[in-house]
Structure 1
Amino acid sequence: MDLRLRTISRDEHTAFVDSLPSASHMQVPSWGEVKPDWRPESLGWFDETGRITGTALVLHRPLPKLKRSLAYLPEGPLIDWYDHDLGRWLTPLLGHLKGQGAFSVKMGPPVVARRWDAATVKDAVADPDAHRLGEVEPTEQDPRAFALMDRLRTMGWQQSGGDSEEGFAAGQPRHVFQLPLADRSLDDILSGFNQLWRRNIKKAEKAGVKVVQGDYADLETFYALYTETAERDRFIPRPLAYFQRMWKALTAEDPDRMRLYLAAHDGEVLAAATMLTVGGHVWYSYGASTSRRREVQPNNAIQWQMIRDAHALGAHVYDFRGTTDTLDESNHLLGLLRFKVGTGGQAAEYVGEWDFPLNKVLHKAFQLYMARR
């Protein structure tokens, strides 16, 4: 049965996302306002009754001096990825985007292929013969995800270059760490934490660390800690304006779409973090902390408060976002993986991002340009 694709209004788009159990925060209409260098477009698939059956937020990035653009669907589109006839979804999408001047389409199906429980990851980290998580036997895997990847290849889609040597994809992270919350009490969730996590939470409580929600004005406090974190952890920070734009756009769409948390001790903010929510999926988005007074464990305190609030919202998963695939002790990201594993959650691997070159020459030139950056 064929589907009809057309542009849709913001209200139509939001209503469909709100009808789903969860969706990526990068597939809500407001996310297009967070990226000023991209032109956002909301698309909808309609069945024969006129009902919306899927949506996509497309971000168009124009090439300088050319009337061509890259069409990017981060962690989307929101369609039935297990439909054996994927062509009825993707063929009209490619046709529409080609008509919009796209030279290439990049998408990230929100489909998990494999999972590793915390015990498996912990054992892998301790195993000197294990070098990458992908080489470790998963706790569970979904054959439908591998069938999907075969289907995409048959249709001419190309899997993006995989993870970088540090374990993060060039676009959205392929490997993430998630803490299941569905049908679990807070006591059950806490008991799943390792001994170090539980001890650090108690240390923070005993020391008098207070975790509160901030507002737009507190983004400057967050940003001061964030830039300190960037220097310490060797990454390039986003500008303050990015977070201010994100706050305004997301909270205008839904007051709970984005929250800011601050952890203070004796009047000094030691850690801060942003939390995003769409349906039953909650993400720990950005975190920041100072090196001062680490002994009072503000990072554990802020995470525990965010997890409790996610649970109170009825979330079924608390998502720590990207994690490294490498298990090499020399990799500075391994400590972050250990921190997340301490919650007793699961490492998850998505099917990754996929490209469809509509103009092979421009697509290749763009790939070379990105590789040299």
Structure 2
Amino acid sequence: MCALLVTPAQQNREQDLQVRSLSVAEYRSFLARHRNASFLQYPSWAEVKDLWRSERVGWHYPGGEISGGALVLYRQFPGTRKYFAYLPEGPVVDWTDPHVDRWLTPLMRHLRAAGAFAVRIGPTPAYRRWDAAAVKAAAGPGRRLSDVLASEVDPVGAALADRLRTRGWKRCGGESDGDAQPRHVFRVPLAGRSLDDLWSGLNQEWRRNVRKSAKAGVDTVIGTAEDLPEFYRLLRVTEERDGFRLGRSLAYYEQQYRVLNAEEPGRMRLYLAVHQGEVLAAHTMIAAGGRVWYQTGASADHRREVRPSNALQWRMLSDAHALGADEYDMRGVPSTLDPDDRSFGLLRWKLGTGGHVVETLGEWETPMDGYTNAALYRAFQAYLARR
């Protein structure tokens, strides 16, 4: 959770926070003070999403320091001069502040002036958490995460959800029919833990598989841009085997690798598991501020007995720890706990790292005031559904 950076004297002013555009340098300076900001809020992400227009904005009191910030992506509605404004896993503001209008009102004012007809935000507080042991014990036919008593309910997230609802914001649809980012994610805490603690946190199967991989001679190495075509080939193999389709091209991953590492060398890494001269698995990792994300994983259909993916994840966890990260985010997991559901295998695999499942607040949308904007919003939703 990012801390509010305004002084008590500034808080007591009767003036409202204002929102203005920021230069790249100003925005980077702001992010340097916020270790928990998502990589989706960094300037480089705008270059990854180059089909969207982008803007960096900051909240401040007149003459004061920037106390909140956001990367805004604008998608133009065909045939109009109106835009859908999207803040992926943002904005980066003090969500613990009960006076949420302090942040939302000037944001909406700024976006309306920029031509937005609707806005989608991704507040970062968690909503609920489940320990790995509790999730594993609750698995069964027809079961879902919502059937299990959470190990922890985040009071900040619960209060914020209520505040957004009372102001007319609507939570986007479920994990497969609304949110652009995963609502349920898996996170491994790193802060205050030694590498031995992380190893002990793995379950017996994971530790056995990592040892088995090392004994079989699997090497884990960091690749380069030249290895991305092999990563993409394995990704297509994985999609076919596991029955999903990310819909990304090789050019997308090449651009992502290029622009993220241009912003900061090592921001995006490609890890390879090599056995007898062949790449058997390839995973991507992103590091920004105090967080590290496992983004995309791919593996071959053969020689799975040497457990290349377990070896890669242990290497990536170890490297995230060495970077001083506070947590290792393994990104999306399904909400099903039914062992017969094909997607449950992904959750079961991540549970072995000993972290916890987190239900985020998800993404929230609202149209701008006015009949025309509301009509455009409905039309835009239909347009996205057709695409």
Cα separation, 1, equivalents of 2:151 and 2:50: 40
Instruction: Measure, in 1, the Cα distance between the counterparts of 2:266 and 2:205.
Output: 31
Match of 2:163 in 1: 151
CA distance in 2, matches of 1:170, 1:314: 30
Matches of 1:26 and 1:195 in 2, distance apart?
34
Partner of residue 24, structure 1: 38
Describe how 1:162-173 pairs up with structure 2 within 5 A: 162-164=174-176, 170-173=179-182
Matched residue of 2:324: which SS?
coil
Matched, 1:95 2:104: no
Match in the other structure for 1:112: 126
Counterpart of 1:123?
Answer: 137
Task: Report % sequence identity.
Answer: 54
Q: Write the deviation string for residues 109-159 of structure 1: whole angstroms up to 9, x where unpaired.
A: 01101110011010111x44x621022101111122111111111222111
| Shift, 1:169, TM fit | 5.2
Q: Distance in 2 between matches of 1:186 and 1:84?
A: 38
Give unmatched runs, 5+ long, in structure 2: 1-12
Is 2:68 the counterpart of 1:68? no
1:321 and 1:188 map into 2 onto residues whose CA distance is 22
The match for 2:327 is 317
Q: Judge conservation of contact 2:295–2:330 (CA < 8 Å) in 1.
A: yes
Once the two structures are superposed, what CA deviation does each residue of 1:273-305 show, in whole Å capped at 9, x if it has no partner?
110011111000011111111010000000000
Structure 1 spans left out of the alignment, 5+ residues: none
SS in structure 2 of the partner of residue 260 of structure 1 = strand
Deviations 1:20-56 (A, max 9, x none): 1221010001100001211111001112442010110
Measure the CA separation in 1 of the matches of 2:159 and 2:282. 41
Q: Secondary structure at the match of 1:52?
A: coil
Checking the alignment, whether the CA contact within 8 Å between 2:123 and 2:362 is kept in structure 1 is yes
Partner of residue 153 from structure 2, selected from 138, 141, 147: 141
- Per the alignment, residue 366 of structure 1 pairs with 380
Aligned length: 368
Name the CA distance, whole Å, in 1 between partners of 2:67 and 2:161. 22
Is the aligned partner of 1:234 residue 2:243? Answer: yes
Query: TM-score scaled to structure 1, two decimals?
Result: 0.96
Comparing 43-52 with 282-291, greater Cα deviation is found at 43-52
User: Partners of 1:372 and 1:244 in 2: how far apart?
Assistant: 27
CA distance in 2, matches of 1:369, 1:135: 34
CA distance in 1 between partners of 2:294 and 2:112 (Å) = 35
Say if 2:343 is the partner of 1:333.
Answer: yes
| 2:192 is aligned with 1:183 | yes
Task: State the Cα distance separating 1:205 from its structure 2 match.
Answer: 0.3
Q: Deviations over 1:182-239 (max 9, x none)?
A: 1111111111111110000000000000000011111111111111112222222310
Letter matched to residue 217 of structure 1:
E
Q: RMSD of aligned C-alpha atoms?
A: 1.3
Residue 257 of structure 1, aligned match among 245, 250, 267: 267
